[in-house]
Structure 1
Amino acid sequence: MDNKHEGMSFFESVPLIMNLSRNTIAHPNVQKLINDKNQQFDAVIAEWMFNEVYSGFSGIFNCPLIWFSTVEPHWMVLRLVDEVTNPAYSVDVASNSVPPLTFVQRVEELGTQIVGRLTQALWVSGIENNLYDEYFVPVIEKRHSTAPSFETLRFNASLLLSNSHVSMGVPAVLPANVIPIGGYHIKPNVKQLPEDLQKLMDNAKHGVIYFSMGSNLKSKQFPEVIKLDLLKMFGKLKQTVIWKFEEDLPNRPSNVHIVQWAPQQSILAHKNCILFITHGGLLSTTETMHFGVPIIGIPVFADQFVNVARAVKKGYAQKVDLSYSMAADIELAINKLLDNPSYKTRVKELSQIYHDRPVPPARELVHWVEHVVKTRGATHLRSPASMVAWYQKLYLDLVLVLVVLVLVLKRVYIFIKSIFIAKRKVKTN
């Protein structure tokens, strides 16, 4: 069970993601929607999930396309509205490195980007084009006679809504049409806790530690030895532990309380919540930043590794690997976090930065979507980088011109030199 940061490899996940997209588009309800010519929309908001097939919906409804990215800005999504980021100071979505990068890390990020771009060009794009031709082109042609190419649609986005904020991520050079909206999902007025949890947290005189591994990895799937080790370790603590667990655990210590469903935001908002043990998903990371709670991150998949790495780098988290020794490792991390007030101080500082915005993220999201609709695509926000070919960005055309010029001048030089040599020979004779 020792954890490796890659989790499921990109090459393993692509077929699964593509199959999910295929099943979504082929669903009878989706087919009914796109084949109904009476259905019209002002804009299409499509989630980016390692493919751009959903851009086909903007072709069907002939309206602006807005990409939604669930993770921090990275080269794969930014290339859709601007250009790929420089791997010398920006990292891949599945990386566990945080800038500034070492020499080895820079090489790794460069290699990841090269392999990713080749994979996209030589493999993924072919699958995407096939899906587009099969499911979208016939519908678009029925509505509009001709269908644009898939490449035209995928790079014709008006906006990129990014589930991110600088308080959690790394400052990045972003075009005007990339809008950070991290925290949009958190309601301004958090719901009241259920009565039993409210009473439990109110009476936790030593504070509450909240433990949740999200929805993808269920705690009940842990090996029995890990469950027992965690219960034994939690039982030694003076704090109250709320553990999101999908079934009841027998022989629990008196300070450990199981909830099969947890009102996470309400728990984190309580003044007695002093620590959050999490898988490090971006929504959970955003919520801990919103409410100012330090974390222990146990990353499992995809961007969870870089999210936790950033949290550690920023000084409000400890990382623990998913392994058979995780109970002992969590105990050490708990002691470090609770014995050192700098973690709490740092997360409160970052939380203040997170909240210091002109408008709440949910309002900003609505504003920019409406702006795209009002301006019929917000073309004034689009980066000129999207209109420049890659070889032009690298000035390879200039290099070619200079090479040709040097070759021509060399030829001229040789020709003139040969004339002078011929004249000298004539004179000597």
Structure 2
Amino acid sequence: MALHHLCGMFVFLCVSLISLTQHCDGGNILVFPVDGSHWVNMKILLEELHAKGHSLTVIRASNSWYIPKKSDLYTSITIEIGEDVDNFFEVYLQEQNHDKEGASLMTFFKLTKDFLSMISQAHSLWSEVATNIFDDQNMIKRIIDSQYDLVLTDPAMAPGVVLAKYLKLPLVLNVRWITSGEGHFVLAPSPLSYIPVPGSGLTDKMSFIQRIKNIFFYSIVLFQQKFLVGPVYDAMCDKYIDGGCDIISLLQEADIWLFRSDFVFEFSRPTMPNVVYIGGFQCKPAQPLPAELEEFVQSAGQHGVIIMTLGTLVNALPEEVTDEIASVFAKMPQKVIWRHKGKRPSTLGNNTLVVDWMPQKDLLGHPQTKVFVAHGGTNGVQEAIYYGVPVLGIPLFFDQYDNLLRLQERGAGQIIQLADVNGHNFEKALHKLLHQESYRQNMQRLSHLHRDQPITPMEQAVFWVEYVMRHKGAPHLRTEAYKMPWYSYYSLDVLLLLLSVVSALLLSIFAIFRCLCCQRRRKIKTKQS
């Protein structure tokens, strides 16, 4: 009897414990990422989703730079791909640095043409990848049979967006850049009078001439979408999507935009209810450095450490620029940690440690780090804000100048163009950041603002991914404005009607008065005769 009672108590306790355990319904997510630095932040999001119990499948290219085929986080689907553009960036930098005294107009147009050509080539390549997926019946059957709950993709390349439409699945975007520029411009009202177009190098305070320049750069974005990017995907949409489609409308139909920015960093602007700002979501408190690296950092003493890296796409700057930078570092009392994979600079000093890889976030979070020399990628800029380290920026391409401009406008960084990098300019900029306390104070202020949130950006990201899975989409957060023709969106048809009515009314009044005047004149003539 006692044994039976004990067994009953044991079962009761087990049931009670199970009922108290938080229930987690793991979702099934298909991920179509973009390689390079985009994958770095996508992987961080996937790690968190995996920890929450969700099942992940990642579509990757066979020649991927960073996305491994085997992982504890996900199952992979590998697509054979025959070419890439990984050597483009070094060639582009060499051309960009060719004219030290300032590029001519012809050089500008050549660089712009080459850059747009590279973008078009990349989209064509990934369009072919998507076509191969759709034409592979076994692969498509496998994907459909897996019964995914949603597609998570980075829309800088569009195959994931088209695949979500084909599979009729909810779509979540991990985004700052879309196929033809910054995401807000196809999603939210974007008046060009105070919203700078990326690439223009402008702020939200523009003169009349600057507004003309802003419109010019926006016309380049439209040209890129209309003639270079859009046609690449149109044929695929017509072939595989019932009723056809275009990339812009597919982006506008996305359920949630996880936007890798926030208004501590970004200029204020209109937005939409399905945009969730997760800028800095990859940031966490710094971890201890490896012993040897910690010893090197501590050996800097009161002078501190400068760290330099140029991101994932560029291993090294042109050799002459590298030598100039190394010679400046050699004269500094600070220790320097430099991620550099090119030829070892001939002017390298004993105070400079050259590495193939560095724990960037842990170094930025170290109290000894004084300045971050960087190219201005979104990840690095947001990490610098999180840890409060002022930035000396050397923008190379993409959004990097615009990112750094936002820091410079807030007094938290300085920009030096690649063509202007020489010993004198580089040393002057470094000294300014090291010895003018306002730069660190302004960056610390941005850091405090960024961290002062009710929940972390990562918690926001995970919540909204799970929200879309729970509700099988979020169409109630999307506006119907995208389905309106442009003349209706701007109420030009209403304005035309109102102008027509007013014009008709005025003409009628004019005709009546004219008629009355004519009758009066006839009466006067009749009396006179």
Q: TM-score range by the shorter chain?
A: 0.7 to 0.9
2:24 is aligned to none
1:184 is aligned to 281
Q: Is the contact between residue 71 and residue 163 of structure 1 (CA under 8 Å) also seen in structure 2?
A: no
Structure 1 pair 383–238 and aligned structure 2 pair: CA distance change class (3 A): same
In the aligned structure 1, how far is the partner of 2:141 from the partner of 2:166? 9
2:310 is aligned to 213
The Cα shift of 1:213 comes to 1.3
Q: Is the contact between residue 47 and residue 69 of structure 1 (CA under 8 Å) also seen in structure 2?
A: yes
Q: 2:298 aligns with which of 202, 218, 240?
A: 202
Q: Is the contact between residue 93 and residue 306 of structure 1 (CA under 8 Å) also seen in structure 2?
A: yes
The Cα shift of 1:284 comes to 0.5
1:108 is aligned to 213
In the aligned structure 2, how far is the partner of 1:386 from the partner of 1:228? 52
1:249 is aligned to 344
Structure 1 pair 226–408 and aligned structure 2 pair: CA distance change class (3 A): closer
The Cα shift of 1:410 comes to 5.4
For the pair 1:78 / 2:175, whether they are aligned, the reply is no
Q: 2:192 aligns with which of 53, 66, 87?
A: 87
Q: Comparing both chains, which one has the higher relative contact order based on Cα–Cα distances under 8 Å and sequence gaps of 6 or more?
A: 1
In the aligned structure 1, how far is the partner of 2:460 from the partner of 2:493? 41
The Cα shift of 1:346 comes to 1.0
1:140 is aligned to none
1:290 is aligned to 386
For the pair 1:327 / 2:423, whether they are aligned, the reply is yes
1:226 is aligned to 321
1:193 is aligned to 289
The aligned amino acid for 1:196 is E
The aligned amino acid for 1:34 is I
Q: 1:157 aligns with which of 254, 257, 267?
A: 254
Q: 1:54 aligns with which of 142, 152, 160?
A: 160
2:368 is aligned to 272
Q: Is the contact between residue 416 and residue 426 of structure 2 (CA under 8 Å) also seen in structure 1?
A: yes
The Cα shift of 1:167 comes to 1.9
1:240 is aligned to 335
In the aligned structure 2, how far is the partner of 1:408 from the partner of 1:380? 41
In the aligned structure 2, how far is the partner of 1:394 from the partner of 1:75? 22
The within-5 A match list for 1:290-309 is 290-309=386-405
Q: 1:362 aligns with which of 453, 458, 472?
A: 458
The aligned amino acid for 1:380 is H
Larger radius of gyration: 2
In the aligned structure 2, how far is the partner of 1:28 from the partner of 1:156? 22
For the pair 1:131 / 2:236, whether they are aligned, the reply is yes
Secondary structure at the residue paired with 1:182?
Answer: coil
In the aligned structure 2, how far is the partner of 1:29 from the partner of 1:244? 41
1:141 is aligned to none
The Cα shift of 1:239 comes to 0.5
In the aligned structure 2, how far is the partner of 1:75 from the partner of 1:267? 31
The aligned amino acid for 1:362 is M
Deviations 1:389-409 (CA, angstroms, capped at 9, x unpaired) = 432332211221133224433
Structure 1 pair 23–210 and aligned structure 2 pair: CA distance change class (3 A): farther
Q: What is the aligned-residue RMSD (CA, Å)?
A: 2.9
In the aligned structure 2, how far is the partner of 1:95 from the partner of 1:35? 45
The aligned amino acid for 1:353 is L
Deviations 1:308-338 (CA, angstroms, capped at 9, x unpaired) = 1111111111111102643321100111111
In the aligned structure 2, how far is the partner of 1:75 from the partner of 1:337? 31
The Cα shift of 1:78 comes to 2.5
Structure 1 pair 237–414 and aligned structure 2 pair: CA distance change class (3 A): closer
Secondary structure at the residue paired with 2:192?
Answer: coil
In the aligned structure 2, how far is the partner of 1:406 from the partner of 1:254? 80
Structure 1 pair 118–253 and aligned structure 2 pair: CA distance change class (3 A): closer
Structure 1 pair 33–335 and aligned structure 2 pair: CA distance change class (3 A): same
Percent identity over the alignment is 25
The Cα shift of 1:164 comes to 0.4
In the aligned structure 2, how far is the partner of 1:349 from the partner of 1:196? 32
Q: TM-score, normalised by structure 2?
A: 0.71
1:96 is aligned to 201
In the aligned structure 1, how far is the partner of 2:232 from the partner of 2:132? 18
The aligned amino acid for 2:150 is A
The Cα shift of 1:384 comes to 4.8
Structure 1 pair 231–59 and aligned structure 2 pair: CA distance change class (3 A): closer
For the pair 1:16 / 2:112, whether they are aligned, the reply is no
In the aligned structure 1, how far is the partner of 2:349 from the partner of 2:188? 54
In the aligned structure 2, how far is the partner of 1:58 from the partner of 1:88? 35
Structure 1 pair 419–229 and aligned structure 2 pair: CA distance change class (3 A): closer
Structure 1 pair 34–105 and aligned structure 2 pair: CA distance change class (3 A): farther
Deviations 1:35-56 (CA, angstroms, capped at 9, x unpaired) = 433132211222122x645321
Structure 1 pair 119–245 and aligned structure 2 pair: CA distance change class (3 A): closer
Structure 1 pair 235–161 and aligned structure 2 pair: CA distance change class (3 A): same
In the alignment, structure 2 segments of 5+ residues that lack a partner are: 1-96
The Cα shift of 1:230 comes to 2.2
In the aligned structure 2, how far is the partner of 1:75 from the partner of 1:8? 14
The Cα shift of 1:29 comes to 10
Structure 1 pair 398–94 and aligned structure 2 pair: CA distance change class (3 A): same
Structure 1 pair 298–27 and aligned structure 2 pair: CA distance change class (3 A): farther
Deviations 1:138-168 (CA, angstroms, capped at 9, x unpaired) = xxxxxxxx45534653431111111002222
1:38 is aligned to 145
1:143 is aligned to none
Deviations 1:194-220 (CA, angstroms, capped at 9, x unpaired) = 22211111221121100111122222x
Q: Is the contact between residue 365 and residue 387 of structure 2 (CA under 8 Å) also seen in structure 1?
A: yes
The Cα shift of 1:183 comes to 1.5
Q: Is the contact between residue 174 and residue 257 of structure 2 (CA under 8 Å) also seen in structure 1?
A: yes
2:34 is aligned to none
In the aligned structure 1, how far is the partner of 2:162 from the partner of 2:214? 31
In the alignment, structure 1 segments of 5+ residues that lack a partner are: 138-145
In the aligned structure 2, how far is the partner of 1:324 from the partner of 1:121? 34
Secondary structure at the residue paired with 2:183?
Answer: helix
In the aligned structure 2, how far is the partner of 1:403 from the partner of 1:182? 46
Deviations 1:263-287 (CA, angstroms, capped at 9, x unpaired) = 1112112111111100011100011
Structure 1 pair 289–33 and aligned structure 2 pair: CA distance change class (3 A): farther
Deviations 1:334-388 (CA, angstroms, capped at 9, x unpaired) = 1111111111111111111111111111111010111122223212222354354
Secondary structure at the residue paired with 2:499?
Answer: helix
Aligned length in residues = 414
In the aligned structure 2, how far is the partner of 1:295 from the partner of 1:149? 42
Q: Is the contact between residue 377 and residue 403 of structure 2 (CA under 8 Å) also seen in structure 1?
A: yes
The aligned amino acid for 1:88 is S
